[in-house]
Structures are given as C-alpha cells and as structure tokens.
Amino acid sequence: MLDKIIKEYNEAIYDTDRDRALMVVHQAVEQGVSPEDVVFKVVLPALDLMVKAISENMDANLAQHFMTAQIADTVTAEMIAKFKKVPAVVGTVVIGTAQGDMHSLGKRIVIGCLKARMIDVTDLGVNVTPEHFVDEAVGRKAQVIGISAMMVHTARGENGSLAVRRLLQERGLEDKIRIIVGGAPFRFDDGLYRTVQADAWASDGVTASKVVADLVKEVRQ
C-alpha cells in the first residue's frame, strides 16, 4: 500500500498539485498509514528525489522544486501534531537574505526543507542587517544563522556573513552560534563560504537540513 501512496504523492508534487498531494496523505492516514510513515517514508524521500531531479538531470523545474518544499512543510506540520511521540526539535535557526538582497525564493525552499526535518526556523525576510541576524539569533536562542545571498556583491560584501562573523566575535558568541550561507554565488565557488568566514554552506534545502543538524550538534557539544 505504501508504494502506491509514494507513487501518487510523487505524481501530485511533480504536477505541483498541492490539493491532490494533501488528499493522498489524508487518505493514507485514514487507511491506517501512521503519520510517522507519511513524513519519513513519503514526504522526506520525495524532497530528496526532487533535489536529485534538479541537480542531476534537470528533469524538474523551479515551480516543482518550490511546491515540493512548501507541501512538505505543510504536511509535516500537520503530521507531527498526530505523532504518537512528538519528536524533539533538532535545533533552532534564524534565516534571512543578506542586506541589499531581495531574492527570496531559494530561502523559502530552504525553510520548507528545514521545517520538514523538525528544525525550528524563523524567517527574518529579505534585506536583513547583520545586527538583526545576531539580535534575533540571541533572542530566539538559535544555534544557527542562515544567510541567503543571490548576488556576488551581497555574498562577498561587507554587510553579509563577514559582518555577522565580526558581531559574533565582538559579542563573544562564536561558540554558541554557527553561520551557514547559501545562494547561487556559493554554488559557483564552493570555497567562497570560507572567504566570507561562514562555518558551512549548502547547495540546496535538503543538504542544508543535514548540514544544519550537524552544526547544531557541534554547538551543543
């Protein structure tokens, strides 16, 4: 039965048909599939598959990628409320687009993926100042600051990750908060994250959720 549900769910998200995807999971639960299986055997593998389709053979487009993450976010939130044992939150992240940068689509995909992996995320929006990143991270006891930058000058510039790093140093927060960056410039130069003094980078939302989980562990050790 699970194979049929996986197939129907994957078809629905490839068609960017949110209603059909939700109907598939609702029917699955009515037929006795556990909410845990819906999340771990249907929704998360579907996210992995979409990223694979995008990155390896381009057999998917941005709308499909975007909707997969948004649907995963919705379904996961709904299913977690029905879990027998509420899963522990993996970690807390504040994420935003660097100052001067208004691009938001990639960040929204990342947020959907993080939430689907039980990571608590606050979206700080676009054009976020370094001070706001750090103040919000401290206020929300976040272990990770996520900075999205889609343009070369906002990725490399003085108001993005470099400034956030400087503030963390000045405020003595470097052992409590890690920085992860992402966006097109980091995909073109996989060493750029070091240049801008971030702790890590990720090429997509699914990878980001795994890297964030590792960063949270580092901070908690």
Where does this chain bind ligand B12 (CB under 6 A)? 62, 95, 100-107, 109-110, 146-148, 150-152, 180-184, 187, 202, 204-205, 208
Nearer to ligand B12, 107 or 165 (CB): 107
E strand intervals along the chain: 91-97, 119-123, 144-148, 178-182, 200-201
Closest approach, Cβ 209 to ligand B12, in A, equals 9
Closest approach, Cβ 122 to ligand B12, in A, equals 13
Per-residue burial over 85-123, b = 16 or more CB atoms within 10 Å of its CB, e = otherwise: eeeeebbbbbbbbbbbbebbebbbbbbbbbbbbbbbbbb
Closest approach, Cβ 137 to ligand B12, in A, equals 13
Nearer to ligand B12, 33 or 100 (CB): 100
SS3 38: helix
Closest approach, Cβ 84 to ligand B12, in A, equals 31
Residue type for position 109: I
Nearer to ligand B12, 34 or 66 (CB): 66
Measured CA to CA, the distance from residue 92 to residue 122 in angstroms comes to 8
Of 85, 77, 88, the closest CA to residue 39 belongs to 77
Measured CA to CA, the distance from residue 70 to residue 142 in angstroms comes to 22
Closest approach, Cβ 60 to ligand B12, in A, equals 11
